[in-house]
A and B are shown apart, each in its own frame.
Chain A
Amino acid sequence: MGLKRVFVANRGEIGLRIVRAAHALDIEAVIGVSEADRDGLGACEADRAVVLGPGPAAKSYLDAKLVVQAALATGCDGLHPGYGFLSERAELARLCAQYGIAFVGPEADVIDGLGDKLRAREMARKAGVPLVPGTDEIASASDAVKAAEQVGYPVLLKASAGGGGRGMVIARNPAEVEAGFAKASAEALAAFGDGTLFMERFVPEARHVEVQLLGDGKGGVLHFGERDCSVQRRYQKLVEEAPCAAMPDHLRKQLHKAACDLAASVNYRNAGTAEFLFDVAREEFYFIEVNARIQVEHPVSEMISGADLVQEQLRIAGGAAPSVKQDEIDLSGHAIECRINAEDWTRDFMPVPGTVTRWKVPTGEGVRLDSHIFEGATIPPYYDNMVGKLIVHGQDRAEAVSRLQSAIDDFAVEGVPTTLPLHAKIVGHPDFIANRIHTRWLEQTVLAE
Chain B
Amino acid sequence: MAKDNFTDLEQLLAEFEASDLTELHVRHGELEIFLSKDENAVGLGGGAVQVATAKAPVKTGKTASPPASAPTAAAPAADIPEGAVVVRAPYLGTFYRAPKPGAPHYVEIGQPVSDETEMCLVEVMKLFTAVRAGCSGTVAAILAEDGAMVAADQPLFAVMPG
Tell whether A pairs with B: yes
B47 on the interface (CB 8 Å rule)?
no
* A: number of interface residues (CB 8 Å): 21
Q: Are A381 and B149 interface neighbours, CB within 8 A?
A: yes
Given A350-B127, A353-B68, A381-B68: A58 touches B92 (CB 8 Å cut-off): no
A190 on the interface (CB 8 Å rule)?
yes
Determine the residue in chain B with the shortest Cβ distance to A36: B68
Chain B residues, Cβ within 8 Å of A380: 68
Interface residues in B66-100 by Cβ distance below 8 A to A read 67-69, 71, 91-94, 99-100
Q: Are A351 and B94 interface neighbours, CB within 8 A?
A: no
Q: Are B68 and A378 interface neighbours, CB within 8 A?
A: yes
Chain B residues, Cβ within 8 Å of A190: 99-100
**Number of A-B contacts defined by CB within 8 Å:** 46
A382 on the interface (CB 8 Å rule)?
yes
B28 on the interface (CB 8 Å rule)?
no
Determine the residue in chain A with the shortest Cβ distance to B148: A56
Chain B residues, Cβ within 8 Å of A74: none
Q: Mark A99-115, 1 if CB is under 8 A from B, else 0.
A: 00000000000000000
Which of these, A54, A343, A350, A383, contacts B65 with CB under 8 Å? A54
Determine the residue in chain A with the shortest Cβ distance to B90: A350
Given A355-B69, A378-B68, A381-B94: A56 touches B147 (CB 8 Å cut-off): yes
Q: Are A55 and B65 interface neighbours, CB within 8 A?
A: yes
B126 on the interface (CB 8 Å rule)?
yes
Given A56-B94, A190-B99, A381-B149: A351 touches B126 (CB 8 Å cut-off): yes
Dominant secondary structure of chain B at its interface with chain A: loop
A267 on the interface (CB 8 Å rule)?
no
B162 on the interface (CB 8 Å rule)?
no
Measured in the bound complex, the distance between the Cα atoms of B69 and A383 in whole Å is 14
Measured in the bound complex, the distance between the Cα atoms of B147 and A383 in whole Å is 15
A385 on the interface (CB 8 Å rule)?
yes
Given A190-B99, A351-B126: A382 touches B91 (CB 8 Å cut-off): no
Q: Mark A317-343, 1 if CB is under 8 A from B, else 0.
A: 000000000000000000000000011
A414 on the interface (CB 8 Å rule)?
no
Chain B residues, Cβ within 8 Å of A342: 125
Q: Are A384 and B65 interface neighbours, CB within 8 A?
A: no
Given A56-B147, A58-B101: A383 touches B92 (CB 8 Å cut-off): no
Min Cβ gap A87→B in Å is: 15
Measured in the bound complex, the distance between the Cα atoms of B99 and A350 in whole Å is 20
Min Cβ gap B92→A in Å is: 6
Q: Mark B115-155, 1 if CB is under 8 A from A, else 0.
A: 00000000011110000000000000000000101000000
Chain A residues, Cβ within 8 Å of B101: 58
Chain B residues, Cβ within 8 Å of A56: 65, 94, 147
Chain A residues, Cβ within 8 Å of B68: 36, 55, 353, 378, 380-382
Q: Are B69 and A351 interface neighbours, CB within 8 A?
A: no
> Can you spell out 6 A-B residue pairs with CB atoms less than 8 angstroms apart?
A35-B3, A56-B147, A353-B124, A353-B125, A381-B124, A385-B126
Residues of B within 8 A of A (CB): 3, 65, 67-69, 71, 91-94, 99-101, 124-127, 147, 149
A55-B65, A380-B68, A381-B94 given; 14 more Cβ-contact pairs under 8 Å: A35-B3, A54-B65, A56-B147, A58-B101, A190-B99, A351-B125, A353-B68, A353-B92, A355-B69, A381-B124, A382-B94, A383-B125, A384-B125, A385-B125
Ranked nearest first, the 8 interchain pairs of A and B with the lowest CB-CB distance are A351-B125, A385-B125, A380-B68, A381-B124, A351-B127, A351-B124, A378-B69, A381-B68
